[in-house]
Amino acid sequence: MLYDVLQDFDVQYRYANGVALRYYMAGRPYVRFEGTDGWVEAEWWKGVQASRDEILKTKPGPGEIQLPLINEKVDFIQALKTRRETLIPAEAGHRTASLCQLGWIAIRLGTRLRWDPAAERFTNSDEANALLARPERAPWTLASLETS
């Protein structure tokens, strides 16, 4: 085996405000957004596709969010070169990566978990909290980013 990641999974999240999110692997790595008017899929090697061409031509209205149609790695390098902010804020990236890790922990333990996003801890499982970090190997440590 060349890797130790999940190849197939189906994880369901429910936010405090009632929004439900289903994150699953359906035979290929992609992101799919589904709504009442159709769907949009993004694959890093194919680009963006939609159930109808009009969906990709739709301009966002006032207060609506437009998803950038740029590879996040290219955006990151461009932001470094130009000293501008990335299109995806660091906090959004952190929360996205957290969802992946939380799902992996739930699958590994085979149980339903409750997450406190402010404390960044599980509220119902010490065993799950133990999987939030791994032991560091000397001489490497994580230094605090706070300045005095």
- Could you state, in chain order, the average pLDDT of each consecutive group of 10 residues for the chain (148 residues)? 71 86 75 79 80 87 72 88 89 87 93 95 97 87 64
What is the pLDDT at residue 101?
92
- Amino acid identity of 138? A
Torsion of the alpha carbons at 34, 38, 43 and 44, rounded to the nearest 10: -100
> 68: cis peptide before it, omega within 30°?
no
- Report pLDDT for 44: 67
Q: Which residue type occupies 50?
A: A
Compute the chain's Rg from CA coordinates: 19
Model pLDDT, residue 111: 95
* Cβ(20)–Cβ(12) below 8 Å: yes
Helix spans in the chain (H):
53-57, 72-82, 90-109, 126-129
DSSP 8-state assignment for residue 48: E
Name the DSSP class of 52: S
Give residue 106's pLDDT: 95
CB atoms within 10 A of CB 125: 18
